[in-house]
Chain A
Amino acid sequence: MSMRSVMLLSLLLGGAFLLSLLVPMWPILGLLSQDRELGIGVLTQLRLPRALLALAYGAMLGASGAAIQALFANPLASPDLTGTTSGAALGAVLTAYIFGFSAPLALSLGAVAGALGALVLLLLLAGARAETGTLLLAGLAISALAGALTTLALALAPSPFAFYDAYEWLMGSLVDRSLGQAAFAGIPALVSIALLLRLTRALDSLTLGEEVAQSFGHDIGRLRRWVVCLSALGVGACVAICGAIGFIGLVAPIFARRLTGGHPGRAVLPASLLGASLLLLADSAVRAAPLGRTLPIGVLTALLGAPFFLWLVAHMRWRLR
């Protein structure tokens, strides 16, 4: 990827971050002019954690999506379509019933365990280099199982409040999170992204097949374990705080590979920058939408992502003809 592309993506990310802090603009400008201290409080206590969470979660989904797609050699692999996000959601809901939604450490551990379980199950079911059909079927089965168990957990909610908390959280939201919660999601996400970036050369070599990658001296078993564990750690930690947000991990790597000449491993960094920008922009869009109330961001990404996914499937089918 050229320096120019990195600069452009960084500018896009910087712009999206600023936009996320300022949208909607008039209320915050009015507040700052009337009561500067309160205005700064709103910016730092409400909007900053939200923007930081969008940045970390989007970057994590992008990086993890790119790494998972490179590992499975499949452009349809992503944290949500492989069941990672649903596994994390199930883990978090089960943990929340025991410790409540205000125990971020327990919630994070539960979500990471759920995501890890889903990815390990996927590797066992679909194999390391799964064909598109097998991968989607296995991912669908895991998502369906995790979804059904999550619904069961909801049905057995200890109280209507617990049910409502879990339901709202499941739709995916960045609203009303604190800086502490942002740190709980952001730190594991940034550590995971930094470590995933160290695997780019090995992931690129998989383009030539596992045998050639091994002849290059890469330990494929270890590579697989790293990608699975880092994706589970980063995505799980973000899901624990913000709920499930879909399709960013599918879309960002696909566009990122256009900047890297198709190299799947090198796409981890641009996918991460793009994922963060996309989620920040989506979050600004849900706040700016004149709906009278804030749309859950997970709903918006699904509404935009699902047609893109359908287009991708049709495009692949056309190419395979």
Chain B
Amino acid sequence: MSLLVEAQGLALPGRLGVTSITLQAGALTCLIGPNGSGKTSLLHALAGIGRPAGQVRIGGTDPAAASPQQRQRLLTYLPAAREVAWPLDARSLIGLGIPEPEYLPRVMEALDLAAFEDRRMDRLSTGERSRVLIARALAPRPPLLLLDEPAANLDPLWQLRLMAFLKTEAHANGQAALVAVHDLDLAGAYADRLLIMARGRIVADGDPEELLAGDVVPRVFGIERAEGRWRPVA
């Protein structure tokens, strides 16, 4: 796997202080951490949202210097909020980025949007709306995917389907996917690499299985695995 994303000195006062992070092409990296640990801030910093300090290079290109069209071909960002400002129909909404015509049908099929692609967003359930917004984010097939809790609002089957699809596509397309999740088991089951954040910093980086079995999770989250279930540290 080749190096795709390099970032240094990402900082937002009081929220983020990541000195260095690299992401490999063709890998699904999951980002976990307690509420307020800086996951969204890190995704924002990499996506160039809110003018954070630091430098980002995607395949050698500085996204801050790229035009909006070039930038949409470099990265995509899915926010945690699943609201849209105008009630467009699902298909029109997906077309708001620069979807790759050859790839779009695959995304639509994987997320099973055919049944409601003509319906307006305000007439969809939260889970359906989530799937449309995920499709919008994936449709341009850029090298860097930054997804903030894509599995939230999805039922258990769709959570598994989505994570499997993200992993397959990252591998097949050579994309670097950085995905914030709250479900540790979901992260453990699908991630190629795991990043754990606390107080705005990356405190652990490595193999998901090893990290989830180690002492970082109890220290950072205050939970531990016992008899196959997570529970608060005694």
Contacts and interface: CB of A to CB of B under 8 A. Distances in A.
Interface centre among A73, A129, A208, A262, by most chain B C-beta atoms within 10 angstroms, is: A208
Contacts of B47: 211, 214-215
A202 interface: yes
A284 interface: no
A2 to B, nearest CB: 13
A209 B85 contact: yes
A257 B122 CA distance: 16
A132 interface: no
Interface string A257-277: 100011110000000000000
Contacts of B76: 215
Contacts of A318: none
Contact of B87 (A129, A209, A217, A262): A262
A216 B97 contact: yes
Contact of B136 (A73, A208, A217, A263): A208
B3 interface: no
A312 to B, nearest CB: 15
B86 A211 contact: no
Given A207-B85, A209-B84, 18 more contacts: A73-B85, A73-B86, A201-B68, A202-B68, A205-B68, A207-B86, A207-B96, A208-B136, A209-B79, A211-B49, A211-B79, A212-B77, A212-B79, A214-B50, A215-B71, A217-B68, A261-B92, A262-B88
**Size class of the contact patch on chain A:** 20 to 34
A70 to B, nearest CB: 8
Main secondary structure of the interface of B (DSSP, over half): mixed
B44 interface: yes
B89 A262 contact: yes
Main secondary structure of the interface of A (DSSP, over half): helix
A216 B68 contact: yes
A263 B88 contact: yes
B63 A208 contact: no
16 contacts: A73-B85, A129-B85, A201-B68, A206-B85, A208-B84, A208-B93, A208-B133, A208-B136, A209-B81, A209-B84, A214-B47, A215-B76, A217-B48, A217-B67, A261-B89, A262-B92
Contacts of A262: 86-89, 92, 120
Interface string B95-121: 011000000000000000000000010
A105 to B, nearest CB: 37
Nearest to B88: A262
A204 interface: yes
B83 interface: yes
A261 B92 CA distance: 7
A319 B120 CA distance: 13
A214 B48 contact: yes
Interface in A205-254: 205-209, 211-212, 214-218
B66 interface: yes
